Amino acid sequence: MSAELVLSSVIFFGLAVIIPVIMLLTAVFGPRSGGVAKNDAYESGIKHVVGMADQKFSVKFYLLAILFLIFDIEAVFMYPWAVSLRELGMFGFLEMVVFILLLLTGLIYILKKGVLNWR
């Protein structure tokens, strides 16, 4: 039995003991608050999780989600570029700079329009 194995088993067992103990202690000593809103399930703006699906809800959630999607996809686009950056060379770099700048203008527009402010 090597020293590392011993050490790691000590750590894991230690954790296995300490974490439940801490949780137990918090449950016993921690301060509490409650209510309907807290107990409700959270689904980006959908008020009633149970019931009919054709209810109305704020478009702001959509907007945020779409904006997230856009920037997310653009970030994804950078992965293959990063992998092949060496082959693409300076030209590829400049292309990506243009791309990011265009994104930036979009971001500026969004910011200035106040889309990200949760009113």
Partner 1 sequence: MLDFIIILPLLVVGAGAIALMLLASMENLSEGSTALVSIGIFAFAFAVQLMVSVSGNVAPYETAFSGMLTASTFTKVAGLIILACGLFSCMIAQTYFTQNKFSSPEFYSLMMFAASGMLLLTMAAELITLFISLEIMSLAIYVLVGYDRSRIKRSEAVLKYLMLGAFAGAFFTMGAALIYGGAGSTRFALISKYLATNSFLESPVLVAGTLLVIVAFLFKVAAFPFHAWVVDVYDGAPLPVTGFMATGVKTAIFAVFANFIVLDNGMKGVWVDYLFYVAVFTMFAGNLIAIGQNNLKRMLAASGIVHSGYLIIALVAVGTENFTGGVIIFYLAAYAAATLGVFTALAYLGGTDERRDSFDDFKGLAKVRPYTAAAITIFMLSMAGIPPTAGFMGKFYIITDAIRADQMLLAVLGIVSSILSMWYYLRLVIMMYFKEPEESFEVSGVSLAPVGTMILAVSVFAIGFYPVFL
Q: Which residues bind partner 1 (CB under 8 A)?
A: 102, 105, 108-109, 112-113
In the complex, least distance from residue 23 CB atom to partner 1, rounded to whole angstroms? 49
The whole-angstrom distance between residue 103's C-alpha and the CA centroid of its chain comes to 20
Q: What's the closest the beta carbon of residue 52 comes to partner 1, in angstroms?
A: 21
- Of 64 and 106, which CB lies nearer to partner 1 in the complex structure? 106
CB of residue 110 vs partner 1: minimum separation in angstroms? 9
Residue closer to partner 1, measured from CB, 31 or 114: 114
Burial of 37 (0-12, 13-18, 19+ CB in 10 A): exposed
- Which of left, alpha, beta for 71 (phi over 0: left; psi -120 to 50: alpha)? alpha
CA-CA distances (angstroms) from residue 54 to 45, 50, 77? Answer: 14, 12, 35
Min dist CB 95 to partner 1, Å, is 11
Alpha carbon distance 24, 28 (integer Å): 6
Quick one: 39 or 105, whose CB is closer to partner 1?
105
Residue with smaller CB distance to partner 1, 32 or 112: 112
